[in-house]
Amino acid sequence: MSDNRALVRISKDREESARQCAAFILDRLRHAIAQRNIATIALSGGHTPKLLFSKLAASGFDWSHVHFFWVDERCVPPDSDESNYKLAQQTLLHPARVPNANIHRIRGEMPPEEAAAAYVEEIRNFFHLGPHELPVFDLIHRGIGADAHTASLFPGEPLIHDRAGIAAAVWVDKLKSHRVTLLPGVLWAARCTVIQAEGQDKAEPVYNVLYGPEDPLQYPCQIAARDPERTVWFLDQLAASKLPQSSLSEPASRTSASSQTR
């Protein structure tokens, strides 16, 4: 993009966008495994990633060195249709035969505060973190809501200012829902962030996050969303429809080249 806010890749439809996003994620995971013999990814839920997950599962990729975490989770059992884990399990983890030892889910069936504490402990143990250290994920996959929320950080959420914590329980009043979410410090620390959006209802929030005033309390998805060195957006034409024309000509080769420099 000419104003250097972030790398944006526009596809003609959701099918092509999911394919492009899957190819990019696989490239990043290969890069991480080549460097460290292991890769870590945190997944998001919602409707958008279902097609992406299916394409990842069908890729034939060797998942034995990839460890899966979650950006956020609803406080529901893992077999609930509202569970982000269930979506990933059905469309990616089970079809791709990801080893159980590589799956680090949020225990949504537990009371929210206990689930958050257990998730923090799992992350600390896996990444061998000291008392004040944050995990550095190789890739965090995120979405954006029609209200510009990301993870389970909704507009006005006080935790948007928390750069020190790893994860926490949140109450989403507008949805009357308990959730557990990674916190902004972790989102900022990721080596690479992928943000997916599709559909006309995402056009305005995408524009606000990329071009609106810097105000994560109003537009939480602005957290780690404008860094052209570490963040790549994958949009269909509808989600990109309000962006300036300069955004629509982002060459795919620049994204690929950027991914090789980190």
Q: What average pLDDT score do residues 148-160 get?
A: 98
Q: What are phi and psi of 236, to 5 degrees?
A: -85, 175
Is it the case that residue 259 has pLDDT exceeding 80? no
| Residue 1 is assigned to a structural domain of this protein | no
Whether the CB-CB separation of 71 and 42 falls below 8 Å is answered with: yes
| Residue 26 is assigned to a structural domain of this protein | yes
Name the pLDDT band for 69 (thresholds 50, 70, 90).
very high
Name the pLDDT band for 262 (thresholds 50, 70, 90).
very low
> How far is Cα 228 from Cα 251, in angstroms, rounded to an integer?
14
Instruction: Write the CATH number for 223.
Output: 3.40.50.1360
| Residue 2 is assigned to a structural domain of this protein | no
Structure tokens at 60: 């034939």
Number of domains in the chain: 1
222-225-229 Cα angle (round to 5): 150
Query: How far separated are the first and last CA of the chain, in Å rounded?
Result: 19
> How far is Cα 180 from Cα 115, in angstroms, rounded to an integer?
7
33-54 pLDDT, tens digit each: 999 999 999 999 988 999 999 9
| Residue 108 is assigned to a structural domain of this protein | yes
| Residues sharing a CB contact under 8 Å with residue 94, sequence separation 6 or more, in sequence order | none
| Residue 146 is assigned to a structural domain of this protein | yes
- What is residue 5's predicted lDDT score, i.e. its pLDDT? 60
Q: Which of 83, 223, 87, 85 is nearest to 144 (CA)?
A: 223
Q: Is 175 helix (H, G, I), strand (E, B) or coil?
A: helix
155-160-162 Cα angle (round to 5): 165
Is it the case that residue 255 has pLDDT exceeding 70? no
* Global pTM exceeds 0.85: yes
Structure tokens at 28: 């990043």
CA atoms within 13 Å, Cβ hemisphere of 129: 19
Q: What average pLDDT score do residues 68-85 get?
A: 98
88-111 pLDDT, tens digit each: 999 999 999 999 999 999 999 999
| Residue 215 is assigned to a structural domain of this protein | yes
| Residue 233 is assigned to a structural domain of this protein | yes
Is it the case that residue 117 has pLDDT exceeding 70? yes
**Residue 158's domain spans which residues?**
7-259
| Residue 252 is assigned to a structural domain of this protein | yes
Whether the CB-CB separation of 117 and 168 falls below 8 Å is answered with: no
Whether the CB-CB separation of 196 and 52 falls below 8 Å is answered with: yes
Q: Is 109 helix (H, G, I), strand (E, B) or coil?
A: coil
Helix, strand, coil shares, percent, the chain, to 5: 40, 20, 40
